[in-house]
Structure 1
């Protein structure tokens, strides 16, 4: 399944290559490869394959999951697709608290003390994810 998804990402130009003009990722890393997973949202068969692949991994490695959490913003739709299919509660995590209203950083299902799988659209260093997972 992974090879088929990788080929699909190239076919829909979600993954692009530029060996002579490097991309700068949000982490500051320079790379000849860029992956824009937001592109997958426009392709139902591709996003379905990604959803099903992630569901298989979740069932295999995290069978006791209780909540699916998406990171803002591009992780949110994939988390929603997965949570819907698994019939699990879902929430999403902002990179920082809102400055108005309840000033929440997490919106949706309560997850404190529960087993949570976090869906991120792309990881380069893991720094942002580790910050968002701190209690």
Structure 2
């Protein structure tokens, strides 16, 4: 499936070919802190299937797995866009929050569930439009 994404200010845009069966929700504490949310929805794309337009910045972090990862974002509005290996990455891990087709990409698995917020399963009430 071809997806299209952009940062909030539209200074950075991308397209990627992804497998919708690979959409995940990550509950690790790094994803919680870096997304400002109790979890982060993600999907992998091969570097060869990923096209980026615009200038980005990156922050290097050491993941809970011990691997060093680049956290790539828009330098103007700060939108998290994707993560990848530090040197010669084979793939990017796209943040679904900036993907136009995100409503069509339900997660197929959850990872790092030991860090899931204990109240998440109780969060069912909707307050209507904001």
TM-score, length basis structure 1: 0.26
Name the structure, 1 or 2, with higher relative contact order (CA <8 Å, separation 6+). Answer: 2
- Higher alpha-carbon Rg: 1
State the TM-score, normalizing by the size of structure 2. Answer: 0.26
Question: Which structure is higher in strand share?
Answer: 2
